Amino acid sequence: MEISSCRTLGVPSRATTLCSVLLCLLSQSCFAAHWQAIGRPKDSSLGYAYVDLDSLRPEGIYRVAMFLTIYPRATVNANSIKLDRIAQETGFDCSGRTFALISTVGYLGGKEAGSSSNNGVDWKDHLRTVPQDVFSQRALDLVCNSPLPTHHNAASPDESPGTVHLTIPTPG
């Protein structure tokens, strides 16, 4: 529902602001640049993961989405690359409940620190079953059940995976 819907429903203009705030609180798409919080991955990192609902796109029978994991401080990955966040393009077969990583980009201080891709290998040939943990099932649910965006505008620099500012909840 949009703010204009409040007016259509006969809400007085002074109440339009309140209506829009309430709708925003009830809507999944009120996060900055449509980054929807997923939670902490099941690994032991303190990272916090998000999915960009504006990045959802169909690819045949599959859906592809951009995920972003932000760490509270810079960390060194398995390839000895220091980074403070990673963006991962991931493909899903929603009906088969499987997924495959398409590409990964690591960032440090807003600049690309390293990347990997499938190097010409078709990701659809490497699908794995989505784990049964809460985090993975939430990610699958968001990607497979969220409506596809009707527009594909390029993200502004403030909204891009390397620089977007998102809150990392403290563990507890």
Coil/strand/helix, residue 1: coil
32-159 carries CATH number 3.40.50.2300: no
- H/E run at residue 106: strand 98-108
Q: How confident is the model at residue 25 (pLDDT cuts 50, 70, 90)?
A: very low
52 token code pair: 């960009």
Cα gap 101→51, rounded to integer Å: 14
Cα gap 30→140, rounded to integer Å: 20
Q: Which residue has the higher pLDDT, 149 or 169?
A: 149
Nearest to 70 by CA among 37, 39, 48: 48
pTM summary value = 0.75
pLDDT of residue 101 exceeding 60, the answer is yes
Average pLDDT for 30-39: 72
Mean pLDDT of all residues belonging to the chain: 80
* Residue spans per domain, the chain: 1-30, 32-159
Q: How confident is the model at residue 98 (pLDDT cuts 50, 70, 90)?
A: very high
